[in-house]
């Protein structure tokens, strides 16, 4: 792991955006894995704005999102298809036919999971995977106890994950209990991974991911076995780390 600790959330977001720019310039037809959630909103807003101003070519990209709620059609306001269309795709010149997200309203979610994994494989796998981090250590919707060898599948969401996402749903709406998610093995097959975590509420999960044992109790800890992973943090999310002095020695101020 490469551990980059930036002073502020904004600096951490901008470092993530810079890495995205670099990867796309190096390979315009990048196969890009994308995450959702609150952490990514600032990333996508900044990336879309800077990509346009810098003349970055995005029309050759292929994207695969990590997950989707089961039971939500693509046009549902809280579906991740709507999230991605509104917060990123609408602001780029990438054809929607090159953007893939599991179908939450598929008649057979298990079959949809297998179909999605096959699409990912047919695309040659992910060149670059962007990740957020759940407060319980999940990546994608791979909740604690997830198999570290898992592929895309149906996963039951924990109560804490549903509570964290309740703010995105109306008071009269229930938060879905199930999702289709890329598995940990699917994520680990990416050639390059960048994980962004900010805020003090992520500090324990950050510690477990980086310095704790590799365990299904913290699915993100599997990233310790990945050969090209960059973890981008702000000071708050890095607060529980014990080896901060060393990380700063190697990459002072996240350089």
Q: Which residue out of 11, 42, 67, 127 is catalytically annotated?
A: 67
| Catalytic annotation present for 136 | yes
Residues 6+ apart with CB under 8 A from 23: 30, 32, 127, 128, 192
Q: Which residue out of 42, 65, 68, 138 is catalytically annotated?
A: 138
CA–CA gap between residue 157 and residue 154 (Å, rounded): 10
| Catalytic annotation present for 110 | no
| Catalytic annotation present for 165 | no
Q: Which residue out of 65, 87, 136, 165 is catalytically annotated?
A: 136
Sign of CA dihedral 169, 173, 175, 181: negative
DSSP-assigned states of every residue in 86-112: HHTGGGS---GGGEE---TT-S-HHHH
| Catalytic annotation present for 243 | no
Collapsed DSSP state (helix, strand, coil) of residue 21: helix
> Residue 75: which H helix or E strand, with range?
none
CA–CA gap between residue 4 and residue 231 (Å, rounded): 6
Q: Which residue out of 14, 143, 208, 234 is catalytically annotated?
A: 143
Catalytic residues: 67, 136, 138, 143
């Amino acid at each position: 792991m490469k551990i980059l600790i930036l002073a502020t959330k904004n600096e951490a977001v901008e470092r993530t955006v810079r890495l995205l720019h670099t990867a796309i310039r190096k390979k315009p037809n990048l196969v890009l894995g994308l995450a959702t959630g609150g952490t990514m909103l600032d990333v996508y807003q900044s990336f879309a704005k800077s990509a346009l101003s810098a003349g970055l070519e995005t029309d050759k990209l292929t994207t695969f999102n990590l997950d989707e709620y089961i039971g939500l059609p693509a046009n549902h306001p809280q579906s991740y298809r709507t999230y991605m269309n509104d917060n990123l795709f609408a602001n780029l010149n990438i054809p929607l036919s090159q953007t893939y997200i599991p179908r939450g309203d598929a008649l057979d979610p298990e079959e949809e999971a297998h179909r999605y994994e096959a699409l990912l494989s047919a695309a040659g796998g992910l060149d670059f995977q962007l990740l957020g981090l759940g407060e319980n250590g999940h990546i994608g919707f791979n909740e604690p106890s997830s198999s570290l060898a898992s592929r895309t599948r149906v996963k039951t969401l924990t109560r804490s994950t549903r509570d964290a996402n309740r703010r995105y749903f109306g008071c009269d709406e229930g938060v879905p209990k199930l999702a289709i998610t890329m598995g940990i093995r699917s994520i680990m097959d990416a050639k390059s991974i960048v994980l962004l975590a900010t805020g003090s509420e992520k500090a324990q999960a950050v510690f477990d991911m980086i310095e704790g044992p590799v365990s299904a109790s913290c699915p993100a800890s599997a990233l310790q076995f990945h050969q090209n992973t960059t973890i981008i943090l702000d000071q708050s999310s890095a607060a529980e780390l014990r080896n901060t002095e060393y990380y700063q020695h190697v990459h002072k101020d996240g350089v």
